[in-house]
Amino acid sequence: MRHFEHISKEDREKIFMKQPESFTRYEDREKLSYALGATIYTPALRPEIAKDIIRKKHRGVQSMVICLEDAVGDLMTNEAQESLLRTLAEIDSALAKGEIKEEEMPLLFVRVREPVQIERLSQMARQKMGILSGLVFPKFSSRNAIDYMHYLERAEEITGASLYAMPVLESIDILNWDTRKEALRAINGIIDGNRDKILNLRIGATDFSGYFGIRRSHDTTVYDIHIIRDCITDIINNFCRPERDFAVSGPVWEYFCGGDRVLKPQLRMTPFRQAYGDMGEQKRGRLIDQYIDGLIHEVILDRANGLVGKTVIHPSHIAPVQAMQCVTHEEYMDAMSITQNSSGNVGVIKSTYSNKMNEIKPHSIWAKKILKRASIYGVLNSGYDFASLI
């Protein structure tokens, strides 16, 4: 699979200076953790999931989570589980018939409700679990982390599949300031001991907000909700340190259609005129009607804070999130300049764009992360930006 493969070769050659590299689900864990991009969640009760995957309905999606937890009512748990099993069987059959190739499949995950459910699914699905790249663990905390990792190991023993874990940090002990540090320290030991199985850490900002009866509007980002912002800050400080350096994804954006606005739209017209000419205003207008301008603003803040990729819940979110993961020409030139001058002979150098100073030591880790993203999402040509890919 390859990001932006749905775009014509001619357009890709025009837009990208460096093309995105292809990858598979068997890729190195570190590379794969950066490749998830816009991870779309869908309720397990939806009967069309397999058909949508086989027909490649959602253009650009490279990772998907089938949810058995919050997206499913408590009284519908058994029905959702049965629906999931049918979905896996449909996909398995399509792969066997050649209706879809494995390399055309998105990375597929299942979000379970509780640790013990993993064993039940493994016993019922058996070899079909091999379709999955991993499992998502909600409400991950020191109280259930050991059980989650135990049942993941059991699932691999039962099914013969190799599965990653994606813990969701959303429990109240992580949010409350008086228990947060102890809670994060307790999780550290378990996660560090299972590093090879942890693909990505996710932040459950919806659950965090719900504990305080807070819900951000389409005019605000999660970073404007200070109690959530402070918690995200501590999660980043804990898990994204150089010595630990886990990939942590941005929290979900939940708006996808219109309503009354209080603040002005946040998208400039110029990038859309440059990318689409006279059609640019219409393109921008559709994104504003869907509140994509708020999503783009939040992704900018995700990236500024070191988060990678984002949870999404609507197909309209996929393209902008993926586009915002691309490396700009200016970022790439800065990163290359920094890495090429890391021998110790230079301490600071003027950027290629002559608009900033690149300090070799302080910016070296940033440069390495930029180059990692560049290999997966590509590098835009000078004069192109995210608007060219939406």
Both 55 and 198 in one domain: the answer is yes
Residue range(s) defining the domain that contains residue 243: 22-325
Kindly indicate the confidence band of residue 259, based on its pLDDT and cuts at 50, 70 and 90.
low
Looking at the structure, do residues 163 and 89 belong to the same domain, yes or no?
yes
Residue 212 CB neighbours (<10 A): 11
Q: 57 and 124: one domain? A: yes
Indicate if 61 and 116 belong to the same structural domain.
yes
Nearest to 166 by CA among 149, 181, 186, 185: 149
Residues 117 and 231 in one domain: yes
**Same domain assignment for residues 251 and 363:** no
Task: Tell whether 85 and 184 lie within a shared domain.
Answer: yes
| Upper half-sphere CA count for residue 123 (Cβ side, 13 Å) | 6
For 235-256, how does the pLDDT look when each residue is reduced to its tens digit (9 = 90+)? 999 999 998 899 999 999 988 8
Total domains, the chain:
2
Decide if 345 contacts 370 (C-beta within 8 A): no
Q: Both 265 and 339 in a single domain?
A: no
Q: Which residues pair with 310 in a beta bridge?
A: 38, 250
Q: Which of 306, 325, 344 is the last residue of a domain?
A: 325
Please indicate, yes or no, whether residues 334 and 190 belong to a single structural domain of this protein. Answer: no
Confidence of residue 218 (pLDDT cuts 50, 70, 90): confident
Around Cβ 99, how many Cβ atoms within 10 Å?
A: 13
Residues 302 and 377 in one domain: no
User: For 125, how many CA atoms within 13 A lie in the half-sphere containing its CB?
Assistant: 29
Tokens of 12: 């890709």
Q: How far is CA 284 from each of CA 45, 257, 268, 287, 388, rounded to the nearest angstrom? A: 34, 14, 9, 5, 12
- Give the domain-ending residue among 303, 325, 347: 325
Kindly state the DSSP code that residue 218 receives in the 8-state scheme.
T
> Which residue, of 325, 347, 365, is where some domain finishes?
325
pLDDT confidence of residue 266: 75
311 and 370 in a common domain:
no
Predicted confidence band of residue 258 (pLDDT cuts 50, 70, 90): low
Q: What is the pLDDT of residue 91?
A: 97
Question: Residue 207, annotated ligand binder?
Answer: yes
Domain shared by 33 and 149, yes or no: yes
What Rg, from alpha-carbon coordinates, does the chain have?
21
pLDDT one-digit tens code per residue, 99-128: 999 999 999 999 999 999 999 999 999 989
